[in-house]
Amino acid sequence: MNIEAAVAAQQPLVQRLLDGVAEIGRDPPGITRDAYGRGENQAQALIAGAGRALGLTASTDAGANLSLRWEGSDPSAKPILIGSHLDSVVQGGNFDGAAGVIAGIGAVAALQAAGLRPRAAIEVLALRCEEAVWFGLGLIGSRCMLARLPEGALDLPHARGGKTLAESIAACGGDPAPLRAGTPLRDPAAIGAYLELHIEQAPQLVEAGAPVAVCLANPGNLRHPFIRITGADAHTGLPHRFRRDAALAGADLALELERMWLEEEATGRPMAVTIGRFHTPAGHHSLTMVSGSFELSLDLRAYEAAHLAALEARLAEIVARVAARRGVTIELGARSAAAPGPMDPAITAGLAAAAVRCGLDAPRLNSPGSHDANNFAASGVPTGMLLVRNHNGSHNPDEAMETADLMAAIRVLAEWIAAEG
């Protein structure tokens, strides 16, 4: 059986797994698979069962990441890792992350059906807690694996139930001790490559009319999940010159950040600003009160480390300016960061060539999202990504990846492994 026919034969398996993780996460109107909780655990169990049915060896590491390993023909060859995540945001969509894990299973099944055994071992990874919603820090599974957890991360509380990250990891069979010691769970130098498949998060492929793209780079990000602005509560009739209005300071800050974004993009420096939380305190705000308190979150992202550093410097200037103008204090609070993820040129070229062999015109595009691939690339692992067409963005119940498009991406992945693995 050739690779094209072997991949096509895996569509029932792929669809069954997509439907299975959807059922596990069902939370109308969307999908919720909580990290280090029932949703992620049950999804891991489903994927592990599919891997074992293919003869893959299942194991978990100290971060409770799942690995499904298919031994290659050459024990000395460095393994090829194919990974993504199974957790979701709250009431998000079914495909963000999960499609990439399932693609790894589909590619291995297709290669087996075609009678092809790669020289290098293939490992399908289900990495824990990629979404920052659960601990205010994202990419946790790959951070654990590569010793990239920031100081204090293991003491962060889970958004549901309040267990610390360390307690959550231990409850899922992991071991926080080597993570506290900063010990890599995998030696990056001993990994041959890391491949990730992910739905697109802006409709670039919808626009291009193509099912698959070869990713060039993922942005890094700088995040402040709990920015606090403090002014003074006051009567609504207070004249403007006496006010220390935290809500208007928040509005000023948001508008200045957008102005910065537009200025940067006008000079050809792509980036993004996202304010996910933006509110006066619900337990205290009132129609008849000038609010002396305001909270927001901030995500800045860009494709180069130097650009991110420059944006952070501009953020500090904007904060100081708004605070002085409004007579408030602005505390940025906890900070987390993820390094940009440039893809390996040789892998990018190899994936593009595999797409051509599949008869696909695969554009080369930047991804607007940060992914676990960022941590592998930043650790020196040769890294590549494929993006799959998706009509309605991600992190919402309307994610609309077609299974046929996922199968096209799996074929490109299988072709690449057959040629390079």
- Positions at the binding site for Zn(2+): 85, 96, 131, 198, 395
Phi-psi region of 30 (alpha: psi -120 to 50; beta: other; left: phi over 0): beta
In 203-283 the beta strands, taken as DSSP E runs, fall at 212-215, 217-218, 220-230, 234-235, 271-274, 278-279
- Per the annotation, binding residues are 85, 96, 131, 198, 395
Distance CA 132, CA 277 (A): 13
Q: What are the residues whose beta carbons fall under 8 Å from the beta carbon of 87, sequence distance 6 or more?
A: 33, 34, 35, 39, 40, 97, 128, 129, 130, 131, 134
Both structure tokens of 396: 């919402």
> At which residue do the structure tokens 């298919």 appear?
70
Q: Which residues contact 116 (CB under 8 A, 6 or more apart)?
A: 3, 418
Give the containing element (helix H, strand E) for 21.
helix 11-25
R_g (Cα) of the chain, nearest Å: 23
For residue 40, which of 123, 147, 127, 153 has the smallest C-alpha distance?
A: 127
Q: Which residues have C-beta within 8 Å of that of residue 13, sequence separation ≥ 6?
A: 50, 105, 106, 109
Q: How far, in Å, CA of 163 to CA of 157, rounded?
A: 5
d(CA 401, CA 200): 9
Residue with tokens 């769970």: 185
Going by C-alpha positions, the residue among 113, 163, 168, 126 that lies closest to residue 21 is: 126
What distances in angstroms separate CA 183 from CA 4, 125, 147, 176, 392, one per listed residue?
41, 19, 6, 11, 39
CB 86 within 8 A of CB 65: no
The two structure tokens encoding residue 411: 């074929």
